[in-house]
Amino acid sequence: DAKTTQPTSMDCAEGRAANLPCNHSTISGNEYVYWYRQIHSQGPQYIIHGLKNNETNEMASLIITEDRKSSTLILPHATLRDTAVYYCIVRVGRNSGNTPLVFGKGTRLSVIA
Amino acid sequence: EPEVTQTPSHQVTQMGQEVILRCVPISNHLYFYWYRQILGQKVEFLVSFYNNEISEKSEIFDDQFSVERPDGSNFTLKIRSTKLEDSAMYFCASSVGRSQETQYFGPGTRLLVL
């Protein structure tokens, strides 16, 4: 089973920041937090991942709390194309390159014009 | 940008028939995976493959399923005798290797078993 808890759905106005929370209170020290999204039954798309430091790339920012029990994915300027199901996944890190991803139900983000 | 490709995009088959789903992973990747998603349900792991052998498989991956890397580029999933409940989207994924865990997914094959 997934080790994360996410809200079922969220709305966000186009152009505003979308902040998607994730709880992972049982995360272990060697487990990373990964975010993927799935746009309308397409293949899951990798967004970002982190261990304990905040991370940023061209798609999003990932804020992980100091105790690592929760995190927030931030899409700084949401567009209609960001409407998707967003999955927060906790996964064992290095030297476990073939660890399967365990998907939960994710958060369905609807970006509204 | 390199990407995982899958063929066919859609496949319709009769119950009991064999199907082969094909994937071309990203060229320098060493780990390969199959996942499936039944309509309206979660994405589920089926199997991972490394160095020409199965690394891990889930309970779903029973004797009806097999995987193969027949040449240097393709990675296939075979379902020997399809059942109605095999109808799903099947996603292939690949990752570079042990120190790079990010898995990149293909667009999927939609399998419909009648």
Nearest residue of chain B to residue A104 (CA atoms): B42
Nearest residue of chain B to residue A46 (CA atoms): B104
CB atoms within 10 A of CB B65: 18
Give the single-character DSSP code of A41: T
Mean pLDDT of chain B: 93
CA angle, B63 then B65 then B69, to 5°: 125
- Distance from the Cα of B87 to chain A's closest Cα (Å) equals 14
What's the pLDDT band for B15 if we cut at 50, 70, 90?
Answer: very high
Q: Quick check: B21 pLDDT over 90?
A: yes
Q: How far is CA B90 from the centre of its chain?
A: 6
Q: Quick check: A26 pLDDT over 70?
A: yes
Closest CA to A81 of A45, A110, A106: A110
Q: Quick check: B45 pLDDT over 70?
A: yes
Predicted confidence at residue B28, as pLDDT, reads: 87
Q: Do B101 and A32 touch (CB under 8 A)?
A: yes
Pick from A101, A102, A108 the residue to mutate for testing the B interface (most B CBs within 10 Å): A101
Pick from A42, A58, A98, A102 the residue to mutate for testing the B interface (most B CBs within 10 Å): A98
Burial B29-41 (b: 16+ CB within 10 A, else e): bbbbbbbbbeeee
Residues 6+ apart with CB under 8 A from A65: A71
Residue range A71-107, pLDDT digits in tens: 999 999 999 999 999 999 998 765 556 788 999 999 9
CA distance A47 to A93: 16
Residue range B54-101, pLDDT digits in tens: 999 999 999 999 999 988 789 999 999 999 999 999 999 999 876 557
Q: For residue A95, what are its two tokens?
A: 């030297």
CA distance B6 to B77: 11
Residues 6+ apart with CB under 8 A from A103: A2, A36, A44, A87, A89, B42, B43, B44
What's the pLDDT band for A30 if we cut at 50, 70, 90?
Answer: confident
Mean pLDDT of chain A: 92
